[in-house]
Structure 1
């Protein structure tokens, strides 16, 4: 239409940015726990899939379990496409991104020294050193969850 988006609509969009962030976070943790459990067994599985999932996801389960429901048979993401035992990587990537970006926010988004340190310590080294060593060289400490918790609006 060519009309600007009304300010009240923009305010609603911004207010909804972290809608259900806690639920989404827990869901990702549940998926990661389930993935790691399946890829940690050392012999062919012949048990109850529903019970296996419930046990694997119990440490992060905050909502009631739906009886008779098992996600594993339909969760091809963890069994096909190269993500076997790696689903946790989505949440870990969020932790790394938020923690790294917090340094940019602290020192200035366009701070050339921070940008150069990121290029020098992370981007240019690739797989030549352990990833945690590279990250600590850039950030000055191991990744912390604080920035992600704040980004998701869950610090309250």
Structure 2
């Protein structure tokens, strides 16, 4: 079961957070796991396991795609990063643990982080308790980005 994410992690504290969480879970912090983590933290996009694998092959030519995918999945389960499961798309990963949401351009597939504190702080609809207990909120916005709109790609 996934641990609740520590939303106050800063980039300076991410490595210490990684060490602590792995230690608590009894997971050895191998060189490959550390390099995968560093690549995710440095990523300016929301990469797939395949993209991380390609980026790491320069530093770690023998790293297997399966190792990257299993490590990213483990990090998701531990709350070290998030797995994005966008409808109809491949699985992507996000190391930004700040509370945020995602805008997905349905034309060019670009993903942008969206910060929306009003949504995050809004009260839940009445009757939600009869459905179950909400543990996290994540909003996915689908539409066309400014560039695709400007190109007339509606």
Alignment TM-score > 0.5, same fold: no
Look at both structures and tell me which one has the larger radius of gyration over its CA atoms.
1
TM-score band, normalised by shorter chain: under 0.3
Q: More strand per residue: 1 or 2?
A: 2
- The normalised TM-score by structure 2 is 0.24
Higher relative contact order (CA 8 A, sep 6+): 1
User: Comparing both structures, which one devotes a greater share of its residues to helix?
Assistant: 1
TM-score by length of 1: 0.24
